[in-house]
A and B are shown apart, each in its own frame.
Chain A
Amino acid sequence: MDEWLNSIIQGVLLGGLYALFATGMSLIFGVMRLVNIAHGDLIVLAAYLALICVDATGMAPLTSLLFVVPVMAVIGYVLQRGVLNLTLGDDILPPLLVTFGISIILQNLLLELFSADSRKLQSGWLDTASIQLGDTIAIGLVPLIIFGVAILVIGGLQLLFYRSKLGRAFRATSDDQDTARLMGIDNRHVFALAMAISLAVVAVAGVFLGMRTNFDPSIGPPRLLYAFEAVIIGGLGSLWGTFIGGIVIGVAQSIGAKIDPGWQILAGHIAFLVILVIRPRGLFPRAVD
């Protein structure tokens, strides 16, 4: 019994990381109906940027956030303004295919620069620190921090969306692009800001990914799928829904792994498909799409 409880707890904590993966995707879909196929690879890029910082200066991975987050935000702004804004319109193919191309480019560029070797961001004592609950349940400090940060990030974004001028602009643009322009909103700039924020969250997700597990250039696509599944399970348009979606995937994977290690990823996918069939609009749908 305790072992199952442990699995569920580990799954919930894992869900925090998946929620971080998914939040950036949920945000940009909400603001501009864009799905970025390169999302997972950008998470991996952030992990590698952190690696560069750590290797070059010996700083702790958590400290590297100070560098990786702004750099990724700038990358997001430039990427959106320079490339992705050109693809937005009524047709879904251009953004899909362009971001698919970017995904291929990123994966192979990282492969060329860093080789396929598995890497990890070492945090010394933090990596093995844990809180002991009873005999069988050990809560790793890193997963706990990630879970907490996920809550902070989503809470912060909710504040941004609902209590700030920029958030108002995001919501208005998401409702009706043309009328938003009539208010004086420059949607090229607003979209770029949304992508900048999205990639800032991706940066956090990437650094934590690198702290939690081994990574290499090829692990981007599965992260994209988990993020996507969390968004759909949660329901389009709801950031907290995305958070719950991440937890659902995390718990499903954890229970799957308990049954059979080879079933971990499959369990997550199956949970997603089941929810898709019985609740196609997700658990907390809000956006009308």
Chain B
Amino acid sequence: MTLLETHGLTAFYGDFQALFGIDMEVAEGETIAIIGANGAGKTTFLRSLTGLLRNAHDAVRFDGRPIGDARANAVVALGIAMVPEGRKLFPSLSVEENLLIGGHAGRKGPWDLGRIFALFPVLQERRGAPATALSGGQQQMVSIGRALMSNPRLLLCDEISLGLAPTIIRDIYDSLPQVTDTGCTLMVVEQDINQAMAVADRIYCFQEGRITLEGRPAGLTRDRIRQAYFGV
């Protein structure tokens, strides 16, 4: 069943057009990967989905419901959560408080503080520490945990491997199946194409604000990906 659809989604920053009519369909329970170079429009796309960027009313539909112009806090209440690029933890809050505030919207579901700590045990040890005092990998866990606390039906992950060591990246991606096992739909923006291919059911490639490629990892060759990625 289709959970998310976008129809002709366009986005502007002032006079600059960042997205040119994105059409996408995501089924519930899928894992989608979005790849593309910097400035291709991937983060803009996620910001549009979450309501940080306002778009046309019908441009985005979630569970059949138009949310293109919905406010960000309303979108969270509907069940879309984002792990933002750069993690964006709240420096004034402790690890535990960062997690708790993820649950501000009060959505019911399998995720609570205990379950997040079970997923990422190291966070429990450092629960009282200021969130920004943790290592990069641990901060990424806090950010993911924070997003999960809102019990989303769709989890958006924006470049969660950025700046992290390969072992840490592996640990984090190894924990993702525990997320999708609860029925959560996952959309991952990734610079690392191999990682994207390994985790996704389907891949979209963005290039200069347009989708240039879409398909299952098995059916995509390196050449086709490179063409779509760089637009050559």
- State if A and B touch, Cβ cutoff 8 Å: yes
- Chain A interfacial positions (CB closer than 8 Å to B): 165, 168-169, 171-172, 174-176, 178-187
- In the bound complex, do residue B73 and residue A185 qualify as a contact, i.e. CB atoms below 8 Å apart? yes
- In the bound complex, do residue B71 and residue A186 qualify as a contact, i.e. CB atoms below 8 Å apart? yes
CA distance A165 to B97 in the complex (A): 9
- In the bound complex, do residue A181 and residue B92 qualify as a contact, i.e. CB atoms below 8 Å apart? no
Which of B77, B92, B93 has the most C-beta atoms of chain A within 10 angstroms of its own C-beta? B92
**B-side contacts of A184, CB under 8 Å:** 73, 76-77, 104-106, 150
Find the A residue at minimum CB distance from B106.
A184
How many contacts between A and B, using CB within 8 angstroms? 63
Does B199 lie at the interface of the complex (its beta carbon under 8 Å from any beta carbon of A)?
no
Subset of 11 A-B contacts with CB under 8 Å: A165-B100, A168-B104, A172-B92, A175-B92, A175-B93, A179-B90, A182-B81, A183-B104, A183-B150, A184-B76, A185-B73
- In the bound complex, do residue B92 and residue A171 qualify as a contact, i.e. CB atoms below 8 Å apart? yes
**B-side contacts of A182, CB under 8 Å:** 50, 52, 72, 76, 81-82, 84
- In the bound complex, do residue B104 and residue A165 qualify as a contact, i.e. CB atoms below 8 Å apart? yes
CA distance A172 to B77 in the complex (A): 18
CA distance A186 to B90 in the complex (A): 16
CA distance A68 to B105 in the complex (A): 32
**Which residues of B in the span 73-130 have a Cβ within 8 Å of any Cβ on A?**
73, 76-77, 81-82, 84, 88, 90-93, 97, 100-102, 104-106
- Chain B interfacial positions (CB closer than 8 Å to A): 50-52, 71-73, 76-77, 81-82, 84, 88, 90-93, 97, 100-102, 104-106, 146, 150
Q: Contacts A183-B104, A183-B150, A184-B105; is A171 near B76 (CB within 8 Å)?
A: no
**B-side contacts of A180, CB under 8 Å:** 90, 101
The SS class assigned to the A binding surface is helix
CA distance A178 to B100 in the complex (A): 17
Expressed in whole angstroms, the minimum distance between the Cβ of B190 and any Cβ of chain A is 20
**B-side contacts of A169, CB under 8 Å:** 101, 104
Expressed in whole angstroms, the minimum distance between the Cβ of A271 and any Cβ of chain B is 30
**A-side contacts of B84, CB under 8 Å:** 179, 182
Expressed in whole angstroms, the minimum distance between the Cβ of A164 and any Cβ of chain B is 11
CA distance A172 to B92 in the complex (A): 7
**A-side contacts of B150, CB under 8 Å:** 183-184
**B-side contacts of A174, CB under 8 Å:** 92
- In the bound complex, do residue B104 and residue A175 qualify as a contact, i.e. CB atoms below 8 Å apart? no
Sample of 20 further A-B pairs with CB below 8 A, known A181-B73, A184-B76, A184-B77: A165-B100, A165-B104, A168-B101, A171-B90, A172-B90, A174-B92, A175-B93, A178-B72, A181-B52, A181-B71, A181-B72, A182-B52, A182-B76, A182-B82, A183-B73, A183-B105, A183-B150, A184-B106, A185-B104, A187-B73
